[in-house]
Amino acid sequence: MLPWAFRRLPGPHQEMFRYQEAVRGYLCQEINRHKLSASEAPKAFISCYLAQITKVDDPVSTFSEDNLIQVVIDLFLGGTDTTATTLRWALFYMVQHRAIQGKVQQELHTVLGTSGAVRYEDRKRLPYTRAVLHEVQRVSSVVTVGAVRQCVTSTRVQGHPVPKGTIILPNLASVLYDPECWETPQQFNPGHFLDKDGNFLVNEAFLPFSAGHRVCLGDQLARMELSLMFATLLRTFQFQLPEGSPGLRLDYVFRGTRQPQPQKICAVPRLSCPNTGPREEGL
Ligand code: HEM
């Protein structure tokens, strides 16, 4: 409520500001590095943004170095914890459901064999693996409530009036667990995304990235990262509980996103471990 006062008050929260300054310092260095290597056809996000700052001859332009720093911070905040947490859930669910882990590994082996790295296009030939990953995202519901939004104009949603200025908190978990949209909403069931012939099935209630104009900006990047990492990890390792483990806890702890409980699992290299060196054709 009073950010300027918060900054001046002593206390443990000052550590947060120190981290913030460290991140900003690092980004300033990165921006300077990109300035020095500026080219005619910039490719990296920072270079493109810098080119835009110099191009835009508009007195009210929002393109500035300060804004660039904030945008890069937003991308890191939005894109790191969400994807890493989803991947952790995926591995825990695979340990909990060994038969499903085995079926994913079998599909990866049958379709991709043992050589070469996984490519994003491969997902089309891997309906079961794709369904499992979708089910992980549905059940873990990592971003359980979307970002806070404010209604810019008066409207109606399913007949209910929503006046201009209303604060909106989209409850994404309510859709991901809606009993009218999912056969067994509370259970981990990859069948939610498969038809009777085992083909991948799109379900419109799959909204972990939210929907509409302000849908997650990293949606496609996240799907690509998750698909490549999940398939590569399962091809390479068998995930299981360590000896003597009392079992997994799949209830979540809330730390801004829904996180799994900190607990140990083992990654045992598989005998038929593929050679996952980079392929010529890249991603
Ligand atoms: C599994 C991974 C991810 C999940 C579940 C996720 C989910 C979400 C959700 C639910 C929103 C709120 C949308 C709304 O308000 O309606 C959001 C916004 C956003 N996400 Fe993601 N996200 C993920 C990965 C990423 C990645 C990889 C990036 C970028 C590198 C990213 C960047 C952003 C940004 C910048 C916004 C704000 C967009 C805006 O305000 O218009 N996210 N994300």
pLDDT for residue 194 is more than 90: yes
> Of 78, 100, 123, which one is at a domain's C-terminal end?
78
- Ligand 1: which of 216, 220, 258 to mutate, most ligand atoms within 8 Å of CB? 216
The pLDDT of residue 114: 81
Q: Is there an atom of ligand 1 within 6 Å of 216 CB?
A: yes
Q: What is the pLDDT of residues 124-156, one digit of tens each?
A: 999 999 999 999 999 999 999 998 999 999 999
For residue 33, the enclosing domain spans 3-78
Claim to verify: residue 133 and residue 246 sit in the same structural domain: yes
> Which residue(s) pair with 258 in the sheet?
254
Do 193 and 231 sit in the same domain of this protein? yes
CA of 151 relative to ligand 1 center, distance in Å: 19
Domain membership flag for residue 159: no
Residue 169 resides in a domain: no
Asked whether 13 and 6 are in contact (CB, 8 A), the reply is yes
Whether 35 and 108 share a structural domain: no
Q: 42 C-alpha to center of ligand 1: Å? A: 25
153 occurs within a structural domain: no
For residue 217, pLDDT over 70 is answered with yes
**Nearest alpha-carbon partner for 208 in 86, 75, 84:** 86
**Looking at the domain assignment, is residue 106 inside a domain?**
yes
Q: Does 127 lie in the same domain as 26?
A: no
The reply to whether 55 and 195 lie within a common domain is no
Ligand 1 centroid distance, CA of 187 (Å) = 25
Query: Which of 78, 104, 119 delimits the end of a domain?
Result: 78
Indicate whether 11 and 86 sit together in one domain. Answer: no
Identity of the amino acid at 83: T
Is the pLDDT at 60 greater than 90? The verdict is no
Is residue 271's pLDDT more than 80? no
Nearest atom of ligand 1 to the alpha carbon of 212: 16
**How many distinct structural domains can be found in the chain?**
2
Does residue 154 form part of some domain?
A: no
Specify whether 13 is located in the same domain as 126: no
Distance (angstroms) between ligand 1 centre and the Cα of 36 equals 31
Longest dimension (CA), the chain: 66
Contacts 24+ apart (CB under 8 A), 98-104: 98/240, 100/132, 100/188, 100/190, 101/234, 101/238, 101/239, 103/128, 104/128, 104/129, 104/132, 104/234
% pLDDT > 90, the chain: 77
> Does 46 sit in the ligand 1 pocket, CB within 6 Å?
no
Which of 50-54, 56-60, 180-184, 221-225 is predicted with the least confidence, judged by mean pLDDT? 56-60
Per-residue tokens: 7: 């900054």
- Which of 74, 138, 209 for a ligand 1 pocket mutation test, highest count of atoms within 8 Å of Cβ? 209
CA distances from 154 to 149, 150, 158, 161 (A): 14, 11, 14, 8
Same domain flag for 126 and 20 = no
Residue nearest to atom 20 of ligand 1 (CA): 216
Report the separation in Å between the CA atom of 78 and the middle of ligand 1, taken as the mean of its atom positions.
5
What is the model's pLDDT at position 145? 93
Q: Do the annotations mark residue 48 as ligand-binding?
A: no
Q: Are residues 205 and 135 in the same domain?
A: yes
Looking at the fold, whether 18 and 102 belong to one and the same domain comes out as: no
Kindly report the protein residue whose alpha carbon is nearest to atom 1 of ligand 1.
Answer: 83
Last residue of a domain, one of 40, 57, 78: 78
Q: The domain spanning residue 233 has which CATH number?
A: 1.10.630.10
In a domain, 160, yes or no: no
Flag whether 148 is in a domain: no
In a domain, residue 205? The reply is yes
In terms of domains, do 36 and 131 share one? no
